[in-house]
Amino acid sequence: MVESLQPGIHLSTPRLGYRHHGLYAGDGRVLHYAGLHRFGRRGVVEEVSLAQFTRGRGYAVLDQAAARFEGRQAVERARSRLGEDRYRLLSNNCEHFVTWCLSGSAHSAQVEAWQRRAERACSALRRVLAWARRPLPQRATSAVFQS
């Protein structure tokens, strides 16, 4: 299957709780943002083997419908950032990197989905807290005490 991959293809491989993204460079190599390493240190944009990229977990080829840059041009864009170490989970991650290489615009559907889930959870929590803070209904007293 590797033989059928063309340079500039968007690849994704599963990780624990997310999908990791890279750009196929050809000759069994993938350009990707290494992400966070031990002790929270930022990884760099690097070129690794397909086996290193997938860590034995397989990969998927993603749709590139919005690609403005294709093939070798996308790979050249990726290589122009080799060694960069400005990884940010929510604003400059591996998916942002690949979408920038292909479309010129960095975005992450994963981050957008996480943000939507977080917004829904916060909204639900606000509703629960508002419900918990509501005043308790007053009990009507029907008996009149006389002395």
For residue 49, the cross-strand partners are 29
pLDDT digits (tens, 9 = 90+) for 5-45: 999 999 999 998 899 999 999 999 999 999 877 667 788 99
**pLDDT value of residue 127:** 79
pLDDT digits (tens, 9 = 90+) for 85-120: 999 888 999 999 999 999 999 989 888 877 787 788
CA distance readout (Å), 142 to 20, 75, 111, 139, 145: 67, 81, 58, 9, 10
Higher pLDDT, 1 or 67: 67
How many whole angstroms separate alpha carbon 82 and alpha carbon 124?
42
Domain architecture of the chain: domains with CATH:
2-107 (3.90.1720.10)
pLDDT digits (tens, 9 = 90+) for 37-63: 766 778 899 999 999 999 999 999 998
Higher pLDDT, 144 or 83: 83
pLDDT digits (tens, 9 = 90+) for 68-90: 999 999 999 999 999 999 998 88
Prediction pTM value: 0.79
- Cβ atoms of residues 86 and 42 within 8 Å: yes
**pLDDT value of residue 52:** 96
**pLDDT value of residue 1:** 62
**pLDDT value of residue 65:** 81
**pLDDT value of residue 136:** 77
